[in-house]
């Protein structure tokens, strides 16, 4: 699939999230379980989501395959104190975005295409890399249309959004 990213300026976005640090291969099992926990907490405390579910990638360790992610949902209201659920914020700035249509099985390919596009276009991310460990300031997947809305995976839509470094030009 050919990636045609858009550069979009966004305001900061608050979200309720649960942070997990797991092996990348464990994400398909960890995400639904953690999401269920998060949604039950929000329902119990009558906090409404204001946008699509999201996964924010904070760290990828290419040495071990470990990732650190926030599994969350945008919210407008504050949260009661919790040992697991915390208010977090995606920073404001310019994001390179692309929409992946289809099963999550090929989402990694769309992300790789976006990263390749950035290299070719000389777009820099707000990221730090050290010893083969990447820490993203804001790399987010927004699950715009997913299994809870649409049973056919070919119709799922996931927006990938990565914060770019601001240019001085």
Smallest CA-to-CA distance from 132 within 68, 65, 70 is with 65
Helix (H) / strand (E) containing 90: strand 86-90
- Is the model's pLDDT at 168 over the cut of 70? no
Task: Round to whole Å and give the CA distance between 112 and 106.
Answer: 10
Are 69 and 19 spatial neighbours (Cβ–Cβ below 8 Å)? yes
Question: Which pLDDT does position 167 carry in this prediction?
Answer: 57
Q: Which residues contact 6 (CB under 8 A, 6 or more apart)?
A: 96, 97, 98
Work out the pLDDT band at 110, boundaries 50, 70, 90.
Answer: very high
Whether the per-residue pLDDT at 133 is higher than 80: the answer is yes
Which pLDDT value is given to residue 169?
A: 41
Say which range, 59-73, 137-151, 155-169, has the weakest mean pLDDT: 155-169
Residue 12 CB neighbour total at 10 angstroms: 10
Residue with tokens 């797991």: 22
Q: Which CATH number does 6-163 carry?
A: 3.20.80.10
Q: Which residues does residue 15 pair with via DSSP β-bridges, in sequence order?
A: 74, 88
pTM of the complete model: 0.92
């Amino acid at each position: 699939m050919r990636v045609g990213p858009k550069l979009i300026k966004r305001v900061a976005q608050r979200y309720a999230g649960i942070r997990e640090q797991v092996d990348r291969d464990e994400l398909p099992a960890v995400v639904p379980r953690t999401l269920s926990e998060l949604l039950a907490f929000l329902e119990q405390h009558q906090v409404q989501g204001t946008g699509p579910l999201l996964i924010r990638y904070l760290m990828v360790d290419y040495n071990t395959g470990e990732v650190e992610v926030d599994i969350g949902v945008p919210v407008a209201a504050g949260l009661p104190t919790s040992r697991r659920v915390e208010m977090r914020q995606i920073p404001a700035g310019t994001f390179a975005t692309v929409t992946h249509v289809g099963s999550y099985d090929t989402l990694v390919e769309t992300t790789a295409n976006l990263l390749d596009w950035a290299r070719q276009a000389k777009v820099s991310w707000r990221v730090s890399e050290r010893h083969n460990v990447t820490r993203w300031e804001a790399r987010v997947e927004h699950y715009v249309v997913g299994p809870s809305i649409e049973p056919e995976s070919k119709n799922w839509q996931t927006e990938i959004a990565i914060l770019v470094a601001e240019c001085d030009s």
